[in-house]
Structures are given as C-alpha cells and as structure tokens.
Amino acid sequence: MKILVCISHVPDTTSKINFSEGDTKFDTNGVQFVINPNDEFGLTRAMWFKEKQGATVDVVNVGGPETEPTLRKALAIGADTAIRVDTPATDGIYVAKQLAKVVQDGNYDLVIAGRESIDYNGGMVPGMIAALIGANFVNTCINLEVEGNEATVIREIDGGKETLKASLPLVIGGQKGIVQESDLRIPNMRGIMQARKKPLNVIQPVETNPETEAVKFEKPAPKGNIKMIDSDNLDELINLLHNEAKVI
C-alpha cells in the first residue's frame, strides 16, 4: 500500500501573530513553525500501517524552501520520502490542484490529510483532492483500518459517530482520534540522522491560477474591562445587564 500524507507548515499556537504591509501580509518574523497537528495525527497513523502492514509512506507539502525543516521532521518521524511542490500555498483550490497532481503521478492508494490546518482553518483541501482525482473521501476521521483494498473508517458526525466502509483509492481528512496525543512520536537522534539521507524531492507546480486572495488581515478586538459584582448583589447584576450591557 502506498500512502501519501499531506503536511501543512503552520505557526505554533504559542507564537505571537502580527501582520505587515498594511495588514495585507502575515509577518513570519520570530514565528516558530510546526507540522499541522491534524496532519501529525495522520502521519502517526500512516507509520502504524508502515510498521504493521509494510506500507510505504511519503509526505508532501506545497510551499517554499522555508517549509523543508517541517518535512525533515516528518522524515525523522519515519516517512520514507518527502516531496515539496515549489510554490507558495496561496489558497485552498490552488493547493489541492498541486497535491492532486502528486497523487496521480505517484499512484497512491491512500491519501491522509488533516481535516483542516490550524492557520486558516479552511477545511477544503482534502475534499477537493478527492474530487479532482475521483477518489472516495471521508472527513473528520477518528479511526482508520485497511485490509486489502477496503478501508473501515469511523468519523465524527453531529451527535455521534458513523462507521463506513470504502474502497481504495481513498482520501482521509483526519483529526485527533485517528491516533491519540500519547501516540505522537518525537524524533530521536537516529531518526534525525536518517532523515538527512532520505530523499526530499522538489518539483515544479502545475500551471493554475489561485481563485481567491487574502485582501486584509485583522486581529480580534481586545477584551474589554471586566466589572466584578458581588455574588449576593443580584439587583445590581440585573441592572447592569439590562441598562449597560443591554443583553436583557
């Protein structure tokens, strides 16, 4: 089984976010980047298939040279080969078209992507890949088993869980649950040294135009001042909610 894991290069959630050029560009100065958490859950599951079933695992990213440390970390975790599509990740459909070409050229059986990245939270790319290559697609996946040419998948739905069976080729939008946080792997020294020798192939993008553009960014409004009301003073609380906050 050939598995391709899509890797997003995203800011660490502890990073301080700023914008530049009149709030039209994301300022990367001082920002620490990591593997998108949803993608890392998927990569860990792919490693299970490699170890238990002899699958080959490749990772792919759409981005510039600055994303290569993230790909090297994925190789250190255990992926066999990394692929970088040498173009900025401008919007969801543009990224999906680049990844779809990689999937088709590599003849992959299973594509695992995070259900969304934690930077833009678009949640579009996995479904678009599936549509572009004509493969089955399951989103919000929290469990995945593959036997032969058939996968058994559990996904989250409103108010519960749903178990599905699907034939390969298959695209998965994974999240926490496909493995647990305790299953995530920290690269050891051996893995880091091996990652330096593993192939990281840089390929040129397919010719296609982005269909959306980020015009401007804006930070959330800062929290306002807080008024503390004594727990026994219900009349004052009701008065403020009615006359000042105007919520009742």
Task: Name all domains of the chain by residue range, CATH numbers in brackets.
Answer: 2-217 (3.40.50.620)
In 3D space, the residue among 48, 71, 62 whose CA is nearest the CA of residue 1 turns out to be 48
**Predicted pLDDT at 226:** 84
DSSP notation for 202-247 = EEPPPS---S-------PPPPP-------TT-HHHHHHIIIIIS--
List C-alpha distances in Å: 117 to 34, 39, 105.
Answer: 11, 8, 24
Q: What pLDDT, on the 0 to 100 scale, is given for residue 98?
A: 97
Give the list of residues 6+ apart from residue 37 with CB closer than 8 angstroms, or none. Answer: 114, 118, 176
Name the helix (H) or strand (E) containing 94. helix 92-106
Question: Which residues of the chain carry a pLDDT beneath 70?
Answer: none
Report the distance separating Cα 107 and Cα 104, nearest Å. 5
pLDDT digits (tens, 9 = 90+) for 172-224: 999 999 999 999 999 899 999 999 999 999 999 999 988 888 899 998 888 87
- Mention every residue, 6+ apart, whose C-beta is less than 8 A from residue 241: 247, 248
